Structure 1
């Protein structure tokens, strides 16, 4: 936390509140305790390590700008009063990035949700626009997003500013690098305005929790729309499922998502006749023209087709059961028991028994990836941080790439981020506590929008 953020007093907050009331009106800013409490939490409870160790804080006030221009005005006002600013999208992140450690202002961007323009190959929207609304707007023009998150209702600003990865055609992978064409960002200066950045310059504002500048508007890439369908299959064993994961991922046209769970983990998912009890579950978003090929692959290893559901809504539903969401459902069935790690590499398939054996109760959720090397989430019974960090070393010794999600600080391009933050936020007011000098045990290098989990 910066000195400026640490020394803010009630008089500064009161003065900022008065200025924001004049700017946003009484519905645009709140000091109500219930509002402040809701704005001061995110999905960090998914990590027992973060829950035990994260320095918590509560907002002194919450602002709700309704446009990119108002976002800049609010930031400028907070800087003039020396009040810390924690940006917040939909609060669906799992890393504590939206928790206001020093208090101060939570800048809730969820009301700045206009989809500004859909062009040829691009869409521009304000930070609070949901990824689903962008996908819907793009589909009206015969296009679709390159990628969208497993939490499909998350906002574009939060998705790009957080430690995100997403469901996307395996042609593009899950990384948002290359997805972003341009950004309008706001720096922490008294006369804050929208600063337009494009290309490589825009990449420096991604996945750093707003510490280099707050994303107010984004332009991202679109593809021509596909005839996607939701595809469900099941297998006697997880090993049978793994035999077809990569071949299905290699179908042409390339799937948008191919994911799978062993029976115990599939049993924790929401009840669905297409996910039968006690069977390994494969769920995919396939081009409709490849359904017969996928079914032939499934049946070649003794699996069975459970359902094919055409249309965008079934596909979104399948996406919400990808990435870390199956582990989250597992945690709901056994509260306080499990933790998770992001993992990747061919060893997940080739050395599955050893991977599962690293942690008590080890269970793998797996997904095909654009380069053929699978990624996934590994669940285990939680005992202590030391057990988790020792397990990370053991997994890497097996050839598994690992990233620990049990950290709340920026771990993507840290040196670049620190230099840019010093220039754009001289008082250290942007999301204090999230940019630190030391990496936590088990932290991994990052690449793209998702931390690298490939084995070296």
Structure 2
């Protein structure tokens, strides 16, 4: 742990004079949080962890001044974007500086198939700008409205659009990253191709991301829709068949009927006696979508443009999937939490039914159809009734050992425990170069040990 008495905040503030700073405890606390409260376990561990000061640079030159001063005074730095993560990625474990990069929001260039953008740009603004020239993002999190593109790269892995374009780390989704080091004379490092993985999903532990280039594809005016079925098994099989047969969708999200109580705005569009598949479907494919649903004994309950949904007071389909399912439930009942599950390939829908039978009312199922490394990969983000830490980890053990699933633990705040399961030596080697004093988001990776820090 960093000894807070060992660094001089006032001297740091003097060195960055003219850059916007907040020291008000309420402002600092607000920017020291993300959505970790989805997990009662993380709430126990992270409540009360706050920074000492919030710094909001207006451009990359100001970021350089902040980085230099922080390194000079050996003050920990936690970079923050929209704060929409779920694992405490932007919660400072050792105080110090909260570096809010949301003013670094320039859309530098939009070209055919790609966009160059500063890391603090809101994803919705970037995607809307791409729409204006007939393109769209390959993927985005369900928190599209408020998440930043740099935060998505640092803490995300996939989301809406992963059905078509794979996970964030797959080839072609991110083409370039510009990183600033945290040292008395900050340097710029440019990453291309596979080297991008050195900072992707690194929780901001190894360099300040300034810019990135993300892939774009042709714009589609997606139809937001849902199909209803008599059983969850049928809903799963329908979604799997839709994906396997190449039906052009941006989202396919099976959600079981017990979620209906959390989606009350939809009323009879998602009743409590039917299981749903929320989807974003290409307009030319709606006929095939409806026909396939009918073949599985189902029916389409609504089909609207995003504007029509807004007029009807309904959220877009992408806010009915991914981790927005957890958010919808927690708005109604705080006793829920969740898991993140990757199923063995090829996917067996019957395994899901056995899991539902095993856990009964302690688990509500929801799945996401995606791709990973070019192959179909099915994920689940089930709601779990919280019965304590021991019960949670017993459930995780059963998913892994009895069912052969991989769990990306949403109740852990370190990179390795949350998903990687092993230390990424390439990221640690890059940290030695980009953060030689070990000041960036300390405590979030077990791969870094205090003896690795430069002492001079």
> Is this a same-fold pair by TM over 0.5?
yes
CA 1:73/1:280 → structure 2, altered by over 3 Å: closer, same or farther? same
Pick from 145, 148, 164 the counterpart of residue 137 of structure 2. Answer: 145
- What does residue 388 of structure 2 align with? 384
- What does residue 354 of structure 1 align with? 354
CA deviation profile, 1:51-105 (whole Å, cap 9, x unmatched): 1234752111101112233223211221112111000011110001101111110
Structure in which a larger fraction of residues adopt helix: 2
- What does residue 269 of structure 1 align with? 263
Moved more, 143-152 or 415-424: 415-424
- What does residue 289 of structure 2 align with? 294
Pick from 43, 64, 69 the counterpart of residue 72 of structure 1. Answer: 64
Counterparts of 2:12 and 2:120, CA distance in 1: 22
Counterparts of 2:25 and 2:118, CA distance in 1: 27
- What does residue 17 of structure 1 align with? 13
Counterparts of 2:236 and 2:385, CA distance in 1: 23
1:422 aligns with 2:453: no
- What does residue 174 of structure 2 align with? 180
1:30: how far off? 1.0
- What does residue 317 of structure 1 align with? 316
1:11: how far off? 6.0
Secondary structure, counterpart of 2:62 in structure 1: helix
Counterparts of 2:167 and 2:52, CA distance in 1: 36
1:141: how far off? 1.5
Pick from 280, 283, 286 the counterpart of residue 285 of structure 1. Answer: 280
Counterparts of 2:383 and 2:238, CA distance in 1: 22
Instruction: Map 1:61-140 onto structure 2 (within 5 A).
Output: 61-140=53-132
- Segments of 5+ residues of structure 2 without an aligned counterpart are 449-456
Secondary structure, counterpart of 2:362 in structure 1: coil
Alpha-carbon contact 1:138-1:145 (below 8 Å) kept: yes
1:222 aligns with 2:216: yes
Secondary structure, counterpart of 1:271 in structure 2: helix
- What does residue 231 of structure 1 align with? 225
Counterparts of 2:73 and 2:425, CA distance in 1: 28
- What does residue 447 of structure 1 align with? none
1:251: how far off? 4.5
- Runs of 4+ aligned residues of structure 1 deviating over 6 Å after TM superposition are none
Q: What TM-score does the superposition give when structure 2 sets the normalisation length?
A: 0.88
Q: What TM-score does the superposition give when structure 1 sets the normalisation length?
A: 0.88
- What does residue 209 of structure 1 align with? 203
CA deviation profile, 1:265-293 (whole Å, cap 9, x unmatched): 13212512432343212110111111111
Counterparts of 1:407 and 1:56, CA distance in 2: 17
1:187: how far off? 1.1
- What does residue 303 of structure 1 align with? 298
1:375 aligns with 2:376: no
Alpha-carbon contact 2:198-2:426 (below 8 Å) kept: yes
